[in-house]
Amino acid sequence: MSVCLKGGRLIDPVNGRDEVADLLIYDGRIAGGSAQGPRRVIDVSGLVICPGLIDLRARVREPGAEHKATLASETAAALAGGVTTFCCPPDTSPPIDTAASAQWLNDRARALGGARVIPLGALTRELGGTTLADMAALMRAGCGGVSNGPRAIKDTRVLRHALEYAAGLGITVFLQPEDPWLAHQGVVHEGEVATRLGLAGIPATAETIALARDLMLIEQTGVRAHVMGLSAARSLPLLREAQARGVPVTADTAAHQLHLIDEDIGFFDTHCHVRPPLRAAADRAALREAVRDGTLSVICSDHQPHEPDAKRVVFSDSEPGISAFETLLPLTLRLAADGILPVTAALHRITAGPAAVLGLSNQGLAAGAVADLCVFDPDEEWTPSAQTWTSRGLNTPFLGQTLRGRVVMTLIGGEIRHQSRALPGSPQT
């Protein structure tokens, strides 16, 4: 059976296509021309069809923190956010540092049949930063790359060898730059807000110094690397300079960093407690510019669901992170609405950009591509609330705010896995 999505606006960031046309799906793939056999026609006029979103960083809290969320709840949340593939960092409990644990996650995700899950394996054993994890075995078990997650590798020699080893095997390393000594006990950006509220600050140099070190070692080892979650304006010239010289490095920022700043913490709003911290308006402006010019080729959700009690505590005791799968698309569309970059380019940062980092085949909406699709209403206004939310974690600073753009349907391999409203459709022959 084939499916025809009729009358939608196709936006294909890979092939630079933006037009109203019918999209035909046959046997899980996008079909060119006319497919044979019985057809189901779904009227998607007024809606946008783009490739399914790919999210490089999302915590599902399994294994180890099932009181916050589960793989089942969060793969459903991913689908509700239009995300068809996402990466799980290895900082679970226990960490993903063996082939068995990566395999377990893959098997479980496949059995659940939600979004596609790509684990990131550990770079060092137990993320301890002293001995290397079995990277080749992790990759064979289905990991998309290796990473030490948020746990800094303090010993530069260990990091050097880890990168060398990965380089030799052609493995992509995901690095989150933060100098643990400068970050110390900090919980917010070091600046006026930290000073006003009496909260310990994390200086921008905690990021730039670690990034400079990482870039030097990436260049020296020649490893293919992806830098996660940049937040500081001063990081971007470093990154630009490295990219200009051909260092094989890409980078992302979290969607919330493009919209929120430290002032949004107001009076101790723990929902704005994130790591790296929300920084100043100038940092946000620089991040937006870097997203526009492609220095940052990826926007990720950095989805981190929490139970309510994790946020109903004193700010410095609260756990950092935002439940963000379901706001990734509207926040990315807002960049286009704000005139930062065209909508096609904005969608590129959450589809083709991350696909390239993961080395996934990247055909967009071309014929023959796997039909992982996101169908969204670009004009629907909605408000995150317990009623409109799928993730187990309702920890978002966007709660109660009006967002524009909502996922209507998510397809994986041509199958509708999520649908938020009825669409006129009928089986036809």
Partner 1 sequence: MIGDIQVDAQGRRRHFLSTEGMSADTILGILDTAESFISVGEREIKKVPLLRGKTIVNLFFEASTRTRTTFEIAGKRLSADIININTSVSATQKGESLLDTVRNLEAMHTDLFVVRHPLSGAADLIARSVPDHVHVVNAGDGRHAHPTQGLLDMFTIRRYKNDFARLKVAIVGDILHSRVARSQIHALTALGTQEVRVIGPRSLLPAAIERLGVRAFTDLDEGLHGADVIIMLRLQTERMNSALIPGAREYFDLYGLTPRRLRQARPDAIVMHPGPMNRGIEIDSSVADGPQSVILPQVTNGIAVRMAILARLAGATASEPKTP
Identify any residues that bridge with 190 across adjacent strands, giving them in sequence order: none
Task: Select 113 or 266, whichever has its Cβ closest to partner 1.
Answer: 266
Of the candidate spans 88-96, 189-197, 212-220, 285-293, the one that interacts with partner 1 by CB under 8 A turns out to be 189-197
Binding window for partner 1 (CB under 8 A); candidates: 47-55, 106-114, 162-170, 257-265: 257-265
Burial class (CB in 10 A: 0-12, 13-18, 19+), 382: middle
Minimum CB–partner distance for residue 278 and partner 1 (Å): 11
- Between CA 176 and CA 207 the distance in angstroms is 9
Q: Report in angstroms how near the CB of residue 330 gets to partner 1 at its nearest.
A: 18
Residue 396's Cβ-side half-sphere holds a number of Cα atoms within 13 Å equal to 31
Nearer to partner 1 among residue 155 and residue 309 (C-beta): 309
* Cα 416 versus chain centre, distance: 22
By CB under 8 A, name the one of 42, 182, 194, 411 that touches partner 1: 194
Distance of alpha carbon 167 from the chain centroid: 24
User: What distance in Å separates the CA atoms of residue 74 and residue 66, rounded to the nearest whole number?
Assistant: 11
Does position 164 bind partner 1 by CB under 8 A?
no
Q: Does residue 140 interact with partner 1 by CB under 8 A?
A: no
Rounded Cα distance, 231 and 216, in Å: 19
320 binds partner 1 (CB under 8 A): no
Asked whether position 399 contacts partner 1 by CB under 8 A, the answer is: no
198 binds partner 1 (CB under 8 A): yes
Query: Closest distance between partner 1 and the C-beta of residue 203, in Å?
Result: 8
| Part of the chain binding partner 1 (CB under 8 A), chosen from 27-35, 107-115, 198-206, 229-237 | 198-206
Question: Does 205 interact with partner 1 (rule: CB under 8 A)?
Answer: no
Active site residues per annotation: 302
Q: Dig out the tokens for 185 from the structure.
A: 């006990």
Of 256, 371, 360, nearest to 3 by C-alpha is 371
As a whole number of angstroms, the distance between CA 399 and CA 382 comes to 10
Contact 35, 72 (CB under 8 A): no
Say if residues 193 and 265 touch (Cβ distance below 8 Å): yes
Q: Does 195 bind partner 1 (CB under 8 A)?
A: yes
Scanning 294-416, the segments in alpha helix (DSSP H) are: 328-337, 343-348, 352-358
Cβ of residue 200: shortest distance to partner 1, in angstroms?
8
CB 375 within 8 A of CB 410: yes
* Nearest distance from C-beta of residue 23 to partner 1, angstroms: 40
Half-sphere exposure of 238 (CA within 13 A, CB side): 22
Q: Which stretch binds partner 1 (CB under 8 A): 142-150, 235-243, 261-269, 369-377?
A: 261-269
- By CB under 8 A, how many residues form the interface with partner 1? 28
Minimum Å gap between C-beta 254 and partner 1 is: 18
Residue type, 13: P
| Site track for partner 1 across 265-304, x = CB under 8 A | xxxxx--x--------------------------------
CB atoms within 10 A of CB 232: 26
Stretch that binds partner 1, among 128-136, 238-246, 310-318, 369-377 (CB under 8 A): 310-318
Which segment (44-52, 166-174, 308-316, 353-361) binds partner 1 by CB under 8 A?
308-316
* Alpha-carbon gap, residue 194 to 273, rounded angstroms: 12
Query: Taking CB under 8 A as the rule, which mask of x and - marks residues 44-63 in contact with partner 1?
Result: --------------------
The C-alpha atoms of residue 286 and residue 258 are separated, in whole angstroms, by 9
Pull the structure tokens for residue 280.
Answer: 């100043």
Of the candidates 81, 95, 121, 201, which one interacts with partner 1 according to CB under 8 A?
201
Given the DSSP bridges, would you call strands 17-26 and 29-31 parallel, antiparallel or unpaired? antiparallel
In whole angstroms, give the CA distance from residue 258 to residue 334.
Answer: 10
Residues 355-394 as x/- pattern, contact with partner 1 by CB under 8 A? ----------------------------------------
Q: How crowded is residue 244: how many other Cβ atoms within 10 Å of its Cβ?
A: 9
Q: How far is the CB of 180 from partner 1 (least distance, A)?
A: 15
Instruction: State which residue, 266 or 359, has the beta carbon closest to partner 1.
Output: 266
Q: Which residues bind partner 1 (CB under 8 A)?
A: 190-192, 194-199, 201, 203, 263-269, 272, 309, 312-318, 397
